[in-house]
Amino acid sequence: MKGFAMLKIGETGWITKDTPACGPLDAICKPLALAPCTSDVHTVWAGAIGDRRDMILGHEAVGEVVEVGSLVRDFKVGDKVLVSAITPDWSSFAAQENYAMHSGGMLSGWKFSNFKDGVFGEYFHVNDADGNLALLPEGMDLGAACMVSDMVPTGFHGAELADIQYGDNVAVIGIGPVGLMGVAAAAIRGAANIYAVGSRKNCADLALEFGATKIVNYREGDIIEQILDLNHGPVDKIIIAGGDNDTFDQAIRMLKPGGKIGNVNYLGEGDYVKIPRVEWGCGMGHKYIAGGLMPGGRARSEKLARLVTANRIHPEKLITHTFHGLENVEPALMLMKDKPKDLIKPLVIID
Ligand code: NDP
Ligand code: ZN
């Protein structure tokens, strides 16, 4: 089969590989829709997780099952499925301790395009199929379904990590597709004011539609000053879904004692993040920082898909560019790398 791969750090190309083998608990799927992710860009061009050779990229997909292992209970050949970008081993010790995403070692629930070939091929392998697939709801838009793979669960995980409660004043730093779903999650969890930080107009417009109450443009001035001013003081909670290693410094400075930061941003470069000592209460300010890989798995996919079918969230609105045919994962990924101003998220439909 052919697939679009990371050949080495900084280089991509098409390669040919054997179709993956199906173990007793696994499924083999063919893609119906695919999306490239900013994480693919960090992986290839920043070398953020180290070198990978001839590894098929991609972890966001909707699929059709073409083979199931002998022990798979709930899925059969021909089922159309939501595929979680993070596919933990659900019987692992880590999963039993509620950190399934780290089953097998830190970040090891992230298998596609990290520890094994990803979804940008004619076929892909899903481990623990009963735990990691979910049936595609009847009539669901393929774009929305593909966003349930990663963008929706990651944005929502940012809101979980920040522990957003009703009435909270919240800043969401970064409103690309992940941060936009963070805005939607904050709104659903009952945030009062939501300050969304970004600069692209289409992202800002969608943030307002998803529940942001004010847009803060980081290119037009210091975001700490802007947010402290709009909020008349520090905020309760912060989701970080963009920025760089200095963003924690800014977040700590605009957060209340007892406030919480939920980071889902993938820090692709540098050795350290900055925490300002005094504003962090000299280590005693009760300003919490949690950073997490989204948990993945079937229950989460089913529940988030339910929010889509109930018309409570509209992740299909993230899709600004649609391609057709597997060969177009290449230009779609290049769009993600170049981030033109009108891009939020590209989608590739495999007709
Ligand atoms: P985008 O690049 O599309 O969005 C990044 C956002 O951050 C944009 O709104 C951008 O603004 C904003 N931004 C950039 N620089 C700054 C800055 N200095 N200060 C404030 N805001 C800034 O990324 P995605 O939404 O696709 O992904 C967000 C992150 O989430 C990525 O790092 C991705 O790898 C990671 N991720 C993490 C996962 C997890 O499980 N934890 C899973 C999936 C993704 P603008 O472009 O408007 O100028
Ligand atoms: Zn992703």
Give the distance (Å) from ligand 1 centre to CA of residue 246. 14
What is the domain extent for residue 315? 2-150+294-349
Is the beta carbon of 179 within 6 A of some atom in ligand 1?
yes
Claim to verify: residue 185 and residue 270 sit in the same structural domain: yes
Q: Residue 48: is its pLDDT beyond 90?
A: no
CA of 343, closest atom in ligand 1: 3
Residue 277 CA to ligand 2 centre (angstroms)? 33
User: What percent of the chain has a predicted confidence (pLDDT) above 90?
Assistant: 96
Q: How many angstroms separate the alpha carbon of residue 338 from the centre of ligand 1?
A: 13
Residue 30 and residue 82 in one domain:
yes
Q: Are residues 190 and 214 in the same domain?
A: yes
Is 350 in contact with 30 (CB distance < 8 Å)? Answer: yes
CATH for 195 = 3.40.50.720
Q: What is the rounded CA–CA span in Å between residue 272 and residue 47? A: 16
Q: Starting at the edge strand that comes first in sequence, how are the strands of the sheet with 11-16 ordered?
A: 11-16, 2-8, 55-56
Residue 250 Cα: closest atom of ligand 1: 19
Mean pLDDT score, 238-265: 97
CATH code: domain of residue 56: 3.90.180.10
Model confidence band, residue 348 (pLDDT cutoffs 50, 70, 90): very high
Same domain for 137 and 19: yes
Cβ of 241 less than 6 Å from ligand 1: yes
Look at residue 4 in the predicted model and tell me its pLDDT. Answer: 98
Q: Can you give the pTM of this predicted structure?
A: 0.97
pLDDT digits over 262-304, tens only? 999 998 888 899 999 999 999 999 999 999 999 999 999 999 9
pLDDT tens for each residue of 184-231: 999 999 999 999 999 999 999 999 999 999 999 999 999 999 999 999
Is the domain of 205 the same as that of 252? yes
DSSP 286: -
Q: Read off the pLDDT band of 128 (50, 70, 90).
A: very high
